[in-house]
């Protein structure tokens, strides 16, 4: 039980930028307390606006109008100052390093409530509610392949995973890379290989590590089409 009120000193000015994105993370630490300590430690120089415990308890660490420090070197759809334009949400989970596990329903339900409020407040398109690994391919793996994007998609809060359907015409490799960039991935900055893996982790985890195989290209084509339909 965490009964202390946590606030983080680690934030700055949004430099006049509007909020237009949400980035989801996992904490990647053994306990919620450890993660809260770090996110509120001035020496660590990291933070997020919100943290959600596995039981669904929500902590606000930084006010939304301030720029929290969660994304690091990152890019999405040509935007490179992700921290200035986004809200960062940390989900407690030990992550790949300390025993990656499923996100409990209570935690996901609390996230959905929070995202609905944020999406309404800033008119954020669902194509711009993404994972840390999407904006920092090759560098970050969170929130990871166990994250239930389906649950968010069902509430129109994100683009969901691949349906499993093959399109009538498959994009070739070059076209698929172009579509990855259209979805938002920083292919030129982070390289094709890292972006393909980040895409698979998010949209078709069973294809992870398979490169641009047919299924992955089908998934990219589908996500690209949905991005076009969900960007406004």
Q: Which of 10, 11, 22, 25 binds Zn ion (CB under 5 A)?
A: 25
Distance of alpha carbon 193 from alpha carbon 125, whole angstroms: 27
The answer to the question of residue 132 lying near Zn ion (CB under 5 A) is yes
Nearer to Zn ion, 135 or 204 (CB): 135
Tell me the closest approach of the beta carbon of residue 3 to Zn ion, in angstroms: 26
Count of chain residues binding Zn ion (CB under 5 A) = 3
**Piece of 17-25, 47-55, 100-108, 190-198 that binds Zn ion (CB under 5 A):** 17-25
Question: Strand pairing partners for 24?
Answer: 89, 131
Nearer to Zn ion, 48 or 221 (CB): 48
Tell me the closest approach of the beta carbon of residue 144 to Zn ion, in angstroms: 10
Query: Tokens at residue 184, please?
Result: 């938002």
**In Å, how far from its chain's centre is CA 150?**
13
Nearer to Zn ion, 83 or 179 (CB): 83
Q: How many CB atoms lie within 10 A of CB 65?
A: 10
Q: How many CB atoms lie within 10 A of CB 121?
A: 11
Question: Which residues touch 121 (CB under 8 Å, ≥6 apart)?
Answer: 64
- 90 flagged as catalytic: yes
Binding mask 37-76 vs Zn ion (x if CB under 5 A, - otherwise)? ----------------------------------------
Tell me the closest approach of the beta carbon of residue 208 to Zn ion, in angstroms: 18
Distance of alpha carbon 120 from alpha carbon 129, whole angstroms: 13
Is the distance from CB of 102 to CB of 113 less than 8 angstroms?
no
**Piece of 7-15, 115-123, 137-145, 171-179 that binds Zn ion (CB under 5 A):** 137-145
Nearer to Zn ion, 101 or 206 (CB): 101
Closest among 160, 156, 155, 182 to 171, alpha carbons compared:
182
**Piece of 4-12, 36-44, 95-103, 141-149 that binds Zn ion (CB under 5 A):** 141-149
Nearer to Zn ion, 57 or 96 (CB): 96
The one catalytic residue in 33, 64, 65, 90 is 90
Tell me the closest approach of the beta carbon of residue 131 to Zn ion, in angstroms: 8
**In Å, how far from its chain's centre is CA 50?**
13
**In Å, how far from its chain's centre is CA 119?**
14
Question: Which residues touch 96 (CB under 8 Å, ≥6 apart)?
Answer: 28, 141, 144
Binding site for Zn ion (CB under 5 A): 25, 132, 142
| Residues with active-site annotation | 90
């Amino acid at each position: 039980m965490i009964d202390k009120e946590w606030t983080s000193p680690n934030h700055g000015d949004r430099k006049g930028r509007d909020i237009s994105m949400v980035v989801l993370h996992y904490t990647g630490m053994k306990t919620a307390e450890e993660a809260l300590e770090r996110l509120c430690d001035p020496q660590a120089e990291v933070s997020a606006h919100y943290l959600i415990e596995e039981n669904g308890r929500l902590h606000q660490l930084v006010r939304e109008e301030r720029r929290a420090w969660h994304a690091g070197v990152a890019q999405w759809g040509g935007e490179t100052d992700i921290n200035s334009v986004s809200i960062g949400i940390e989900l407690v989970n030990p992550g790949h390093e300390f025993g990656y596990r499923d996100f409990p329903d209570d935690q996901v339900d609390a996230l959905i409530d929070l995202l609905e409020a944020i999406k309404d407040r800033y008119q954020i398109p669902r194509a711009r509610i993404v994972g840390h690994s999407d904006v920092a391919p090759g560098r970050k793996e969170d929130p990871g392949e166990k994250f239930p994007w389906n649950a968010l998609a069902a509430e129109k809060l994100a683009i969901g995973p691949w349906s499993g359907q093959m399109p009538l015409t498959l994009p070739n490799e070059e076209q698929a890379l172009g579509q990855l960039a259209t979805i938002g991935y920083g292919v030129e900055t982070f390289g094709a290989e890292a972006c393909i893996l980040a895409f698979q982790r998010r949209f078709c985890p069973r294809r992870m590590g398979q490169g641009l195989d047919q299924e992955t290209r089908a998934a990219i084509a589908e996500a690209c089409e949905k991005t076009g339909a969900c960007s406004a």
